[in-house]
Amino acid sequence: MTRPFNFSAGPAALPEEVLQQAASEMLDWHGSGMSVMEMSHRGKEFISIAQQAEADLREILAIPANYKVLFMQGGAIAENAIVPMNLSSRGGHMDYVVTGSWSLKSQKEARKYGQVNVIASNEADGHTTVPDPASWKLSRNAAYVHVCSNETINGIELHELPDLKALGCDAPLVIDCSSHIASRPIDWSRVGLAYAGAQKNIGPAGLTLVIVREDLLGHALPITPSAFDYKIVADHDSMYNTPPTYAIYLAGLVFQWIKRQREATAQGELQGLAAIEARNIAKADRLYGYLDASGFYSTHVAANARSRMNAPFFLPADALYEPFLAGAKAQGLLQLKGHKSVGGLRASIYNALPLAGVDALVAYLKEFAQRHG
């Protein structure tokens, strides 16, 4: 039986191979006689799972040795508070760039913990562009500069992370990369801290990844809950409290799946994250290419700001949404409804969604446009 293609924005599709492996190991992990869910997080079995997951993630994302990888909980929304609790004491204002719903939420939460400056915003154009970093009004002595590098709801991606040093700013860049982590490489020379909820691109809900440069540890406000103090979490190898063990295990299987990927391109065969990125570019090109050419569907985001992961698009009449979604479901194309704040439709085409899924979607889009155009 072939499974439907799942375009959910999150919790989102996982690679079928990973789900099958997890199913086969469900009752007895590697002859231990236990499910991963039933193991002590301090036993040698689970410690080996967590260490392998971290080592594979470090390899995939080329994380430098002076960065800690933390397995936390609470999701990216909790990080909206945890980041300022840990970093606000380092400087004066906390600088935020607003590019969509998620960064808007981040800066609002940070206001509970200190002075926030919104140094650039695309609110005036309805969150459809990325403000040029050269125009950002960076604060002097900022504690950090926060961006959401992929706005899941609005469909905006920062295709290049800002080089704050080149802009004369020494503050660390903090990125919410929840919805495109492991879809492309990260230039760590530009990033002080990256956080991501797992449920978009790397695993099930319940795990939050924090990757943080070591010099940013140890600045937490006294009110910071111990379980959310990055230094305490780092000093305990993410086991200060019981970590989300099963979610870490599944993310680890996803990391191994990423390492196994191969993609033949004109430049030769690519492996691992490079293969994933090439495939993501091909998927996005195919989808946006059809939407642009269709003369039926419309998009709102500026071409150079379009997300490779989340593509919001619209039909020419409101009455068409219901038949569109019902027809899509009947064809095995699931969860294409847009976010309520943006409306319309949204195709999330994360790592686990194969090119064949985009092809099946485009075939349906064509057929629907012919019938209703």
Binding site for ligand PLP (CB under 6 A): 10, 75-77, 102, 148, 152, 176, 178-179, 197, 200
Alpha carbon distance 292, 288 (integer Å)? 6
CB of 179 to ligand PLP, least distance (A): 4
Q: Which residue among the candidates 56, 68, 95, 102 is catalytic per the annotation?
A: 102
Q: Are 183 and 201 a contacting pair, CB within 8 Å?
A: yes
Nearer to ligand PLP, 77 or 362 (CB): 77
State how beta strands 173-176 and 144-148 pair: parallel
Nearer to ligand PLP, 68 or 200 (CB): 200
Block residue for tokens 């919410």:
176
Nearer to ligand PLP, 176 or 277 (CB): 176
The CA-atom distances, in angstroms, between 261 and each of 15, 257, 276 are 11, 7, 7
Q: Catalytic annotation on 176? A: yes
The CA-atom distances, in angstroms, between 109 and each of 94, 106, 112, 114, 122 are 12, 5, 6, 10, 19
Whether the bond between 225 and the residue before it is cis, its omega within 30 degrees of 0, is no
Q: Catalytic annotation on 136? A: no
Q: Which residue among the candidates 29, 56, 136, 176 is catalytic per the annotation?
A: 176
User: 79 phi and psi, to 5 degrees?
Assistant: -60, -25
Q: Which residues of 209-222 are buried (b: 16+ CB within 10 A; e: fewer)?
A: bbbbbeebbebbee
**Structure tokens belonging to residue 96:** 């935020």
Nearer to ligand PLP, 39 or 177 (CB): 177
Nearer to ligand PLP, 49 or 181 (CB): 181
| Nearest residue to the partner ligand PLP, using Cβ | 75
CB of 2 to ligand PLP, least distance (A): 28
Nearer to ligand PLP, 49 or 177 (CB): 177
Per the DSSP assignment, residues forming a β-bridge with 310 are: 348
Q: Which residue among the candidates 56, 136, 200, 257 is catalytic per the annotation?
A: 200
Q: Catalytic annotation on 257? A: no
Q: Are 298 and 313 a contacting pair, CB within 8 Å?
A: yes
Alpha carbon distance 30, 18 (integer Å)? 15
Alpha carbon distance 243, 257 (integer Å)? 22
Residues with active-site annotation: 102, 176, 200
